[in-house]
């Protein structure tokens, strides 16, 4: 063993593993895993997004899927070597299946597999026209009556959705729909993206004035065309809007603006959706084979229903409709809620001389932006990481390779560091009466995001205003809305000229209910969350984001979205699942989870 | 010597060279060069774009410039090693001057310097906000009444050119003006770009329908934001138009559309230009310190003046105004000229069932697109090169390091290869009567481009139509235009419904004549060409592109442009020269050439 390099060790294990799989010897293959093991597969084996936890689960999956998958060619990825650190040996791997090429990451402990990530890179015979295979562009040679590129684009715009039907319709033209659309176009899957606003990017432009991205640039790149080196760390909303508008054009997406979906229904006999849309006042009926809801994590506003809302004499709106502070200078605002939108909105109101009170109903997890950037993301998504050779794709895959079941264990020490680093900051907040949490198990922001998509604020300055008493704090549940303000359960009256309900967003299957029907929404169930049995993420454990980027209980209905990283990374796997179906490639799905929760 | 690696050898030479320069020992420094030597400097020593040929020229430059330049820190660039091949030792180098950081390439033969390239990377204290230094974007902390990004952009658009004056005005909003504009914005130099058309990119959109780029994508990237991996090899005109439009917005350029310059004059007393423009019907007077003409290599149409043009009863236009073939189906076209535009236009006419005759007045150099791509450009600008580690910046610098005086020697063997590879093709053309050349000295396309900016066609299919007789050929000079067609000097009559004058473009100082005055145009002289004493590039030798990207005889007047590679690469050096002047950094220009030719 002393003379065996990590590369040799991993190569030998991959050879054994590959041989066992090729022989159909599931027992031998699973014996190569240690007790505490995880195999996360993005499409290649399971035609799903699935984590198999423990040898039994792995064996069951292989029993169902191995023969059809026919994996081979397991090796350390070209140009890579295995590394050893703290008892863990890690290597990038490549492999093939009958229909695809795959890439992944393996981690070993004591010669046994601890974590295995397998992901689909491309379908054989349907490789994307990139790099060496990029399209020629010009029409070389000579041929009569050939249309120009512009004429081809115009013909496509004229025909698709009318004379010809798209294979996929995506409802929602934000970054999720756009990223998926770009991947599908690369795979030559006819697709139409439906966007209710006037222009691509308006979903950002229409937000409150001071909004900037909360995730730093290295985390946010879209597929194929990363932000340039002069792009700001945190893009202002209008700048992101411009990028999305540009990207939609450059990627030649079929993107219908001013288009709302009125109704969608699936015909099991024809395996086809009927999607009735209003396109800028015209009704159009689309008949795609696949329907994707990319309506956004922050799209279906969750407006509370307090007694007395109808009698309030001032302005009131959900945070998603908040225009910014300009109309309220010198007035009084009450903001219900204490997470990201609430903080951003309160800070902007204060900056514009509005008397503002934040009503905190439950605890909030707060991290400072620079601490999160450096400690939370820096290893994978930062200028430093890029300079050290990290690519966006590798960062995404490393993150994807950390099993959700144990991810919190990796996160807790990082948040301990942040708690220590910013001790004075947190002391100041607590002194001001702000009620903090660190997630149910101290695992911090990203786990809260994965579990419930809410409950935190990435501090970019509002917390200091709370510490200094400039943003006033009130606590407790709202009893009712009066003509002149907010009445809390403990009797506190908060007079207001404007009330902002920064009360979050609902599960994306709410859109399925609105557009398709409650029965379908219930069949599909709640979107998002892992089943961690933590606040707002009830068990049982499902081990992957419910319903995201993979088959759902409603045939041919899919959900895409998440943050910019997830929109980017998971668009790869969703696009491949859709392409496979379009090409008639067999896609036997393994591991469809039960629907435990409706919303 | 046997134990000395190339890296050791170069390091030792750089140490000696640096020491000699620091000691002001010009004799010692120049003695390190071999007889046949070239030092090409982009700004760092000469505040010019200059090639010093031979030790005497190098000594003279150092005598004038060395003390003020104060170079130091000569070393092999970080992360690089010297390589040896065929008797030539090559290395990337870094160095500093009193005010700047530099980068370059050195080539040694037998321990002496053969070629040295020194280029300015950045001005100390004025580094671009890229990468680690990228702007934050969001406004962190809290401050009253801070404008949003959108408000800042709107304020800038409102004020610049009205309440405040730009430092630079660029006339011409094509890729040259746009690339330079992006660099200047990065350097925080207030700049306005003036474009006559409605939208950025229209200078491409308005060209003939079938136009695509003739240079492949790896050659064409703009600064900061390269084309993505799914971008076609040869972009169709409308797609490039879209990219330029997007780029202008993403780079936050101050870009005035529907704006023409009526008149410009320089006041030597105030060191300021007065530029009178018509902005969408409104007269605006701009007062920049620096004026850049980026009106394009293919902008000032060269329309011939044949007797009888006024009596022709059909359509006639310069190639720059050719709309495409659609209106001429079933008719007869005569195209005067046999270079790039002529071939593209003839092919498109034939494709659309137009009877077309090309009138060849002089020889044309033809290379096939794929041969040029592979043999001519492949080493530096190709997918293969990229995969092998070549970056656009390195490719640009390697190309810049080949002295113009001897560049043809490097090119001749490449074109010999192409002649051999495509022997049947050329035989077919000659059989059809097409008159070929390979440049005066067999050095092919790129030298023709550098010397005269014309005289070639990159074949993408039209040549086969000539070979097959589908595009008819006529030869000789035009005697006159009749009511019904073209009469050649040899008596041949070519009836025509449409005549296209594919007769090229004039020197960019023609724009200086139109906008500023003939006296200034004459003072500045002809733009472009090297003084090679070859066809259309009369001597004497000047050794650099006349008047391009560097100081001209008219104070504060500059010319920018060229192909996409030159627009990209030389925008770096022109932007630094302009920034230095704005910052009041001393810029003692060395080696302003004489004006030998007026146009």
- Best CA proximity match to B341, nearest among B182, B212, B174, B457: B457
When CB atoms are compared, the residue of A132, A238, A383 closest to B383 is: A132
Q: Do B232 and A353 lie within an 8 Å CB cutoff? A: no
Percent of chain B predicted with pLDDT > 90: 91
Q: What's chain B's Rg over C-alpha atoms?
A: 25
Please report the residues numbered 359 through 378 in chain A whose beta carbons come closer than 8 angstroms to any beta carbon of chain B.
369
Q: pLDDT tens, B401-436? A: 999 999 999 999 999 999 999 999 999 999 999 999
Question: What are the structure tokens assigned to A384, written together?
Answer: 């430093």
Asked whether B293 and B275 are in contact (CB, 8 A), the reply is: no
ipTM value = 0.89
Q: H/E element holding A55?
A: helix A55-69
Q: Do B233 and A150 lie within an 8 Å CB cutoff? A: no
Contact residues on chain A for B217, CB-CB shorter than 8 A: 134
pLDDT above 70 (res B216): yes
Rounded Cα distance, A409 and A402, in Å: 10
Rounded Cα distance, B313 and B321, in Å: 18
Rounded to a whole number of angstroms, the distance from the CA of A11 to the nearest CA of chain B is 25
pLDDT at B361: 96
pLDDT at B2: 62
Give the strand pairing for B33-42 and B282-286.
unpaired
Q: Do B229 and A130 lie within an 8 Å CB cutoff? A: yes
pLDDT at B1: 53
When CB atoms are compared, the residue of B217, B383, B460 closest to A140 is: B460
Which residues, other chains included, contact A90 with Cβ-Cβ below 8 Å and sequence gap of 6+?
A82, A83, A84, A105, A106, A107, A108
Rounded Cα distance, B25 and A51, in Å: 70
A379: three-class secondary structure by DSSP: coil
Which residues, other chains included, contact A514 with Cβ-Cβ below 8 Å and sequence gap of 6+?
none
pLDDT at A2: 62
Q: Do B139 and A210 lie within an 8 Å CB cutoff? A: yes
Rounded Cα distance, A555 and A541, in Å: 23
Which residues, other chains included, contact B481 with Cβ-Cβ below 8 Å and sequence gap of 6+?
B306, B307, B308, B309, B311, B312, B316, B487, B499
| DSSP line for B191-234 | EEEE-SSSSTTHHHHTS-TT-B-SS-HHHHPPSSSPPPTTS-SS
Please report the residues numbered 214 through 233 in chain A whose beta carbons come closer than 8 angstroms to any beta carbon of chain B.
217, 224-225, 228-233
Residue B80 forms contact with A (CB below 8 Å): no
Q: Supply φ then ψ for residue A442, to 5 degrees.
A: 75, 10
Q: How far is CA A478 from the centre of its chain?
A: 32
Asked whether A245 and B242 are in contact (CB, 8 A), the reply is: no
Residue B248 forms contact with A (CB below 8 Å): no
- Best CA proximity match to A270, nearest among A553, A555, A47, A547: A555
Rounded Cα distance, A192 and A264, in Å: 15
Q: What is the value of pTM for the model shown?
A: 0.93
Residue A128 forms contact with B (CB below 8 Å): yes
Question: What are the structure tokens assigned to B221, written together?
Answer: 């990237």
How many other C-beta atoms lie within 10 A of the C-beta of residue B363? Answer: 15
The mean pLDDT of B353-370, rounded to a whole number, is: 96
Residues making up chain A, counted from first to last? 599
Q: Do B238 and A149 lie within an 8 Å CB cutoff? A: yes
Q: What's chain A's Rg over C-alpha atoms?
A: 25
Q: Do B234 and A144 lie within an 8 Å CB cutoff? A: no
Q: How confident is the model at residue B170 (pLDDT cuts 50, 70, 90)?
A: very high
Q: Is the dihedral of CA A329, A332, A334, A339 positive or negative?
A: positive
pLDDT above 80 (res B262): yes
pLDDT at A166: 98
Which residues, other chains included, contact A384 with Cβ-Cβ below 8 Å and sequence gap of 6+?
A378, B132
Asked whether B498 and B570 are in contact (CB, 8 A), the reply is: no
Any idea of the CA torsion for A44, A46, A48, A54, to the nearest 10 degrees? -110
Q: Do A230 and B224 lie within an 8 Å CB cutoff? A: yes
Rounded Cα distance, B586 and B570, in Å: 21
Rounded to a whole number of angstroms, the distance from the CA of A132 to the nearest CA of chain B is 6
Residue B431 forms contact with A (CB below 8 Å): no
Which of B79, B127, B137, B235 is the best mutation test for A, with the most CBs of A within 10 A? Answer: B137
Rounded to a whole number of angstroms, the distance from the CA of B261 to the nearest CA of chain A is 29
Rounded Cα distance, A94 and A71, in Å: 11
pLDDT at B104: 98
Rounded to a whole number of angstroms, the distance from the CA of A583 to the nearest CA of chain B is 22
Q: Do B234 and A138 lie within an 8 Å CB cutoff? A: yes
Taking phi over 0 as left and psi of -120 to 50 as alpha, with beta for the rest, B263 belongs to beta
Mean residue pLDDT of chain A comes to: 95
- Best CA proximity match to A27, nearest among A67, A63, A74: A63
Which of A135, A228, A470 is the best mutation test for B, with the most CBs of B within 10 A? Answer: A228
Q: Do B353 and A144 lie within an 8 Å CB cutoff? A: yes
DSSP label at B301?
B
Mean residue pLDDT of chain B comes to: 95
Residue A199 forms contact with B (CB below 8 Å): no
pLDDT at A41: 98
Question: What are the structure tokens assigned to B419, written together?
Answer: 């002649």
Residue B238 forms contact with A (CB below 8 Å): yes
Contact residues on chain A for B131, CB-CB shorter than 8 A: 229, 383, 386-387
pLDDT at B27: 98
Rounded to a whole number of angstroms, the distance from the CA of A349 to the nearest CA of chain B is 10
Contact residues on chain A for B212, CB-CB shorter than 8 A: 137-139, 149
Rounded Cα distance, B151 and B157, in Å: 10
How many other C-beta atoms lie within 10 A of the C-beta of residue A598? Answer: 14
Question: What are the structure tokens assigned to B116, written together?
Answer: 């040295």
Nearest CA in chain B to A461: B141
Rounded Cα distance, A437 and A435, in Å: 7
Which of B146, B229, B348 is the best mutation test for A, with the most CBs of A within 10 A? Answer: B229
Please report the residues numbered 136 through 195 in chain B whose beta carbons come closer than 8 angstroms to any beta carbon of chain A.
136-146, 148-150, 153, 186
pLDDT above 80 (res B232): yes
Rounded to a whole number of angstroms, the distance from the CA of A437 to the nearest CA of chain B is 22
pLDDT at A140: 80
Contact residues on chain A for B356, CB-CB shorter than 8 A: none
Sheet holding B498-501, edge to edge: B315-318, B498-501, B332-336, B355-360, B472-475
When mean pLDDT is compared across A148-162, B448-462, B585-599, the lowest value belongs to B585-599
Asked whether A169 and A291 are in contact (CB, 8 A), the reply is: yes
When CB atoms are compared, the residue of A134, A139, A351 closest to B229 is: A134
Rounded Cα distance, A377 and A509, in Å: 30
A517: three-class secondary structure by DSSP: coil
Rounded to a whole number of angstroms, the distance from the CA of B346 to the nearest CA of chain A is 11
Which residues, other chains included, contact A460 with Cβ-Cβ below 8 Å and sequence gap of 6+?
A212, A214, A234, A344, A369, B138, B140, B141
Q: Do A144 and B225 lie within an 8 Å CB cutoff? A: no
Rounded Cα distance, B573 and B577, in Å: 6
pLDDT above 90 (res B388): yes
| DSSP line for B50-99 | EEEESHHHHHHHHHHHHHHH--EEEEEPTT---EEETTEEEEEEEEE-SS
| Cα–Cα separations (whole angstroms), residue B123 to B96, B181, B186, B572 | 10, 18, 12, 11
Contact residues on chain B for A208, CB-CB shorter than 8 A: none
Q: How confident is the model at residue B208 (pLDDT cuts 50, 70, 90)?
A: confident
Rounded Cα distance, A120 and A40, in Å: 12
When CB atoms are compared, the residue of B148, B153, B353 closest to A210 is: B148
When mean pLDDT is compared across B131-140, B219-228, B528-537, B562-571, the lowest value belongs to B131-140
Residue where the block lists tokens 């009138």: B359
Rounded to a whole number of angstroms, the distance from the CA of A267 to the nearest CA of chain B is 36
Rounded Cα distance, A565 and A77, in Å: 23
When CB atoms are compared, the residue of A246, A384, A462 closest to B249 is: A246
- Best CA proximity match to A571, nearest among A198, A113, A227, A168: A168
Question: What are the structure tokens assigned to B479, written together?
Answer: 């005697």
Rounded Cα distance, B228 and B226, in Å: 6
Nearest CA in chain B to A248: B246
Nearest CA in chain B to A129: B230
Please report the residues numbered 478 through 537 in chain B whose beta carbons come closer than 8 angstroms to any beta carbon of chain A.
none
pLDDT tens per residue, chain A (599 residues)? 566 899 999 999 999 999 999 999 999 999 999 999 999 999 999 999 999 999 999 999 999 999 999 999 999 999 999 999 999 999 999 999 999 999 999 999 999 999 999 999 999 999 999 999 999 888 887 788 888 999 999 999 999 999 999 999 999 999 999 999 999 999 999 999 999 999 999 999 998 888 899 899 999 999 999 999 999 999 999 999 999 999 999 999 999 999 999 999 999 999 999 999 999 999 999 999 999 999 987 778 999 999 999 999 999 999 999 988 999 999 999 999 999 999 999 999 999 999 999 999 999 999 999 999 999 888 999 999 999 999 999 999 999 999 999 999 999 999 999 999 999 999 999 999 999 999 999 999 999 999 999 999 999 999 999 999 999 999 999 999 999 999 999 999 999 999 999 999 988 888 899 999 999 999 999 999 999 999 999 999 999 999 999 999 999 999 999 999 999 999 999 999 999 999 999 999 999 888 888 77
pLDDT at B542: 93
Rounded to a whole number of angstroms, the distance from the CA of B142 to the nearest CA of chain A is 6
Rounded Cα distance, A422 and A420, in Å: 5
């Amino acid at each position: 063993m002393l003379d065996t390099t990590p590369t040799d060790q991993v190569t030998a294990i991959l050879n054994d593993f590959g041989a066992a799989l090729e022989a159909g010897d599931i027992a031998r293959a699973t014996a190569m895993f240690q007790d505490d093991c995880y195999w996360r597969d993005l499409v290649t084996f399971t035609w799903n997004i699935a984590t198999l936890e423990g040898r039994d689960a792995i064996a069951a999956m292989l029993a169902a899927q191995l023969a059809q998958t026919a994996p081979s060619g397991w090796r350390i990825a070209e140009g890579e070597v295995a590394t050893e650190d703290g008892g863990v040996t890690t290597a990038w791997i490549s492999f093939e299946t009958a229909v695809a090429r795959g890439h992944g990451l393996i981690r070993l402990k004591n010669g046994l597999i601890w974590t295995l990530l397998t992901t689909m890179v491309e379908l054989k015979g349907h490789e994307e026209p990139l790099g060496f295979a990029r399209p020629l562009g010009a029409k070389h040679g000579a041929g009569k009556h050939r249309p120009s590129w512009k004429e081809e684009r115009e013909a496509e715009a004229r025909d698709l959705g009318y004379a010809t039907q798209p294979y996929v319709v995506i409802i929602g033209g934000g970054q999720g729909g756009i990223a998926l659309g770009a991947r599908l176009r690369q795979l030559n899957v006819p697709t139409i993206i439906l966007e209710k606003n006037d222009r691509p990017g308006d979903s950002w432009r229409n937000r409150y004035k001071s909004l900037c991205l909360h995730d730093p640039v290295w985390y946010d790149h879209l597929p194929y065309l990363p932000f340039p080196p002069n792009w700001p760390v945190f893009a202002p909303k209008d700048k992101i809007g411009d990028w999305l508008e540009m990207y939609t054009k450059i990627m030649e997406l079929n993107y219908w603006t001013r288009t709302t979906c009125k109704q969608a229904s699936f015909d099991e006999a024809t395996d086809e959706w009927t999607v009735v849309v209003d396109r800028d006042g015209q009704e159009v009926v689309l008949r795609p084979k696949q329907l994707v809801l990319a309506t956004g994590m922050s799209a279906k506003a969750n407006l509370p229903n307090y007694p007395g809302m109808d009698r309030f004499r001032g302005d009131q709106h959900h945070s998603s409709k908040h225009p910014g502070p300009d109309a309220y200078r010198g007035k009084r605002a009450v903001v219900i809620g204490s997470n990201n939108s609430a903080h951003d909105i309160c800070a902007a109101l204060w900056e514009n001389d509005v008397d503002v009170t934040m009503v905190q109903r439950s605890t909030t997890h707060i991290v400072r932006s620079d601490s999160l950037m450096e400690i939370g993301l820096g290893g994978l998504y930062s200028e430093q990481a890029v300079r050290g050779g990290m690519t966006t794709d590798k960062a995404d895959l490393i993150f994807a390779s950390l099993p959700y079941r144990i991810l919190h264990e990796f996160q807790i020490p990082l948040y301990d560091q942040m708690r220590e680093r910013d001790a004075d900051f947190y002391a100041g907040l607590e002194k001001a009466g702000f009620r903090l949490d660190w997630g149910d198990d101290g695992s911090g922001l990203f786990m809260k995001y994965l579990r419930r998509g809410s409950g935190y604020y990435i501090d970019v300055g509002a917390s200091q205003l709370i510490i200094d008493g400039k943003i006033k704090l009130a606590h407790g549940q709202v009893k009712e809305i009066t003509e002149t303000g907010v009445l809390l359960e403990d009797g506190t009256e908060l007079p207001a000229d404007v009330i902002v309900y920064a009360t979050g967003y609902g599960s994306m299957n709410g859109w399925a209910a609105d557009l398709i029907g409650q029965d379908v929404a219930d069949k599909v169930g709640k979107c998002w969350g892992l089943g961690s049995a933590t606040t707002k993420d009830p068990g049982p454990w499902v081990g992957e984001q419910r319903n995201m980027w993979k088959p759902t209980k409603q045939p041919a209905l899919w959900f895409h979205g998440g943050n910019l990283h997830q929109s980017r990374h998971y668009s790869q796997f969703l696009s491949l699942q859709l392409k496979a179906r379009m090409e008639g490639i067999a896609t036997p799905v393994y591991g469809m989870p039960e629907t435990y929760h409706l919303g």
